[in-house]
Each structure stands twice: as structure tokens, then as C-alpha cells.
A and B are shown apart, each in its own frame.
Chain A
């Protein structure tokens, strides 16, 4: 099946710094990518939807200036957590789809810990 890769898988940063997480579709062109946040023992919470070449659509309650999403190419989307705070610590997961099947493929997730 299609492969979606996230990097880094784990990142620890100091409060106030910015962290970038990459999501790549390795063997298909992802027209749409999604970013989720998952708290321990919770379900996935959709943060935003990004289409290649256009601005991301954020879910209600998600700060677009804090969680910057860029989908500059058909194989790469990035999530930048700006001025990170400890409450931003979470598991962030991306998923990607292509227009063909509409099937969604998930990345491996990135664990962010803000000290």
C-alpha cells in the first residue's frame, strides 16, 4: 500500500521555540493532507486540511498562527508549531490522500515534548 512518512518521529524542544514536522507521501501524489493531534488514550482530533498549493483549512478552535501548515508540493506537507508551550506536547499524525481512490494513508506520527 501507499506509504506516508513523518519526520521526526520524536522531538523534544524548549518552551518558546518552533518545531517543524514533515509529512511526505513516498509513492503517490497527495492532493490533500490532513493533520491530527492525539492526546494519550484519546481519538484523533483533526486540526487542519491542506490542499497542495493553497492555504490550509483549520478546524474550529485550532490557532492557524500557532500551527502553521504548508503544502508546497504534492508529496510534502509541513506542520510548524510556533512558540511551543508545554501544553502543545502531543502526538501529531498526518494523513494523505490522492484524488484517485480517496483512500487515506497515515504517517507514523510525531511525538512532541515541550519542556
Chain B
């Protein structure tokens, strides 16, 4: 699979701050997904994006499918301690296999 370029690699923020992370690719994808993984657990789907330009929210999370279909971002507003974890972007074309970013490790201090 093709590796997605995810940044930043890690973030260390204070509770209440907003967070932004993004993924880029040299290839076009039909679907962008954002997952959160807690230690010792499998990834949990946060937001799925199926259309270029789509902006979708899930509570304090907002994600957008880039208009070029080569990028996506995830924003977390008013972070809380339970937001701690590793966030992965993932993308796929017409097939089922997912391409993953390397992850963004988020630490939130009270």
C-alpha cells in the first residue's frame, strides 16, 4: 500500500486547546478516514469522508476531505484529557485495502 504523510508526529498540549493534524498523499483517494487508537486496543473509527470537499463533524471533532482528494485534516476543539491517544488517517481508493498514515500521538495535560 501507499504510505500517507501524516503530521505532526506528536503533539503535547494543554487541556482546552484546539488540535489540528493532517494527512497528504501523492495519490488520489475516494475515501478518507480518521481513527483513534488507545494503547493495547484496535483503532476506532472517528470520522469517514466519502466526497471531495466534504466537511464532517463528530462532536468536538471536525474533518475535511481535501478538494484535490489528496489530503485530509482533523481538528479537535477544546481538548480534554481523554483525547489522549494515537490518531491515524487512512485512505482508500475503489478497493477495500486501507493505506495508513504513521499516526499522530496526542498528549493532553490537565
Q: Is the interface of A mostly helix, strand, loop or mixed?
A: strand
**Residue in chain A with minimal CB distance to B43:** A106
Q: CB of A104 within 8 A of chain B?
A: yes
In the complex, chain B residues 55-110 whose Cβ is within 8 Å of any chain A Cβ: 88, 96-98, 100-103, 105
Q: Contacts A43-B102, A46-B1, A46-B97: A93 and B40 contacting too (C-beta < 8 A)?
A: no
CB 8 Å contact bits of A68-81 with B (1 = contact, 0 = none): 00000000000000
Of the listed residues B1, B100, B101, the one surrounded by the most CB atoms of chain A closer than 10 A to its CB is B100
Chain A residues bordering chain B, tally (CB within 8 A): 25
Q: Which of A28-53 contact B (CB under 8 A)?
A: 32, 34, 41-44, 46, 49
CB distance from B104 to the nearest CB of A (A): 11
Give the size range of B's interface with the partner: 20 to 34
A58-110, CB < 8 A from B? 59, 91, 93, 95, 97, 102-109
Q: Name the B residues within 8 Å of A49 (CB-CB).
A: 96-97
Chain B residues proximal to chain A, CB less than 8 Å: 1, 31, 33, 35, 40-45, 48, 88, 96-98, 100-103, 105
